[in-house]
Amino acid sequence: MIYDSIEARDEIFARLRRACSGSRSVFREALAHLKPPDPPTPVTHADGDRRSLAARFGAKLEAASGSYEILEDAAEASQRVVQLAREWGAAERATESAAETIEILSWASRALPIENLGELLKQAGTSLIVPDDMHDERTRARAARVNLGLTGADAAFASTGSIVLASGRGKSRAASLLPARHLVLVPMSRIHTTFEAWLRSLRAKQALGSFLRVSGQVVFITGPSKSADIELYLTLGVHGPKSVHALIFDDIW
């Protein structure tokens, strides 16, 4: 028998009414015997002084396929950036696609958490690329060929190994997205126990609103880009950097 749409609807509803009116309920189960679920508990937790939180953050990042170093201060961290740029640049020059000079896709020097780092890198022979307008085709093409990205971190969480990056003036999101390697500078003062603790600190300083207003986009990054879409085989670097390396340094003296 062929029904039009109204007849088909009425027939379906009639069948449902007959099924629900029977002695055995099709859609209702007796739930009285089931134990109610336990109340929700916090997903993450961390505590300790700034150095123990730094170690906890690094360990969590490493567990998420990232890597880290804990350095004494900003001066040591800046020297390490130069050293890594040279080492990674030498490795890139061994490939046919490498540029003649070491290039870093970076936040602007003023946005990095180490003073005068941009000038130090220039003195070391490194070309610092700070994209202003990614709508420009030539800017995009130049940024796409750089394999090392350098950023700071607006916040980091010891409980998960995650970092917070807010894009804005001089803080292009391309620096943490396009290059194969992402080098992130993490001052210990910006490591919080949890995401919730970070929000509490912003609210306590009445800074949450201004932080969101000046940020074009806020992203949370936990280690390198990962995908397991194909046969559940985990692959790094599919949608972003293949490696994320954090330089953690003490900025409180």
pLDDT at 130 (0 to 100): 93
Q: Containing H/E element for 165? A: strand 162-167
Q: CA-CA distance, 190 to 73, in Å (whole number)?
A: 14
pLDDT digits (tens, 9 = 90+) for 175-206: 999 999 999 999 999 999 999 999 999 999 99
pLDDT reading at 229 higher than 60: yes
More confident residue, 75 or 5: 75
State mean pLDDT over 204-224.
Answer: 94
Q: Containing H/E element for 149? A: strand 148-151
Q: CA-CA distance, 84 to 224, in Å (whole number)?
A: 18
* pLDDT band at residue 165 under the 50/70/90 scheme: very high
State mean pLDDT over 163-186.
Answer: 95
pLDDT at 44 (0 to 100): 75
More confident residue, 16 or 73: 73
pLDDT reading at 2 higher than 60: no
pLDDT digits (tens, 9 = 90+) for 56-104: 999 999 999 999 999 999 999 999 999 999 998 877 766 655 556 789 9
pLDDT reading at 4 higher than 70: no
pLDDT digits (tens, 9 = 90+) for 21-47: 765 554 455 555 556 666 655 567 888
pLDDT digits (tens, 9 = 90+) for 117-160: 999 999 988 989 998 888 888 888 888 889 999 999 999 999 99
Name which of 116, 119, 129, 104 is nearest 184 in CA terms: 104
Q: Does domain 50-249 have CATH number 3.40.50.10420?
A: yes
pLDDT at 113 (0 to 100): 96
Residues 6+ away with beta carbon under 8 Å from 82: 120, 121, 124, 126
Neighbours of 153 (CB within 10 A): 21
Residue ranges per structural domain of the chain: 50-249
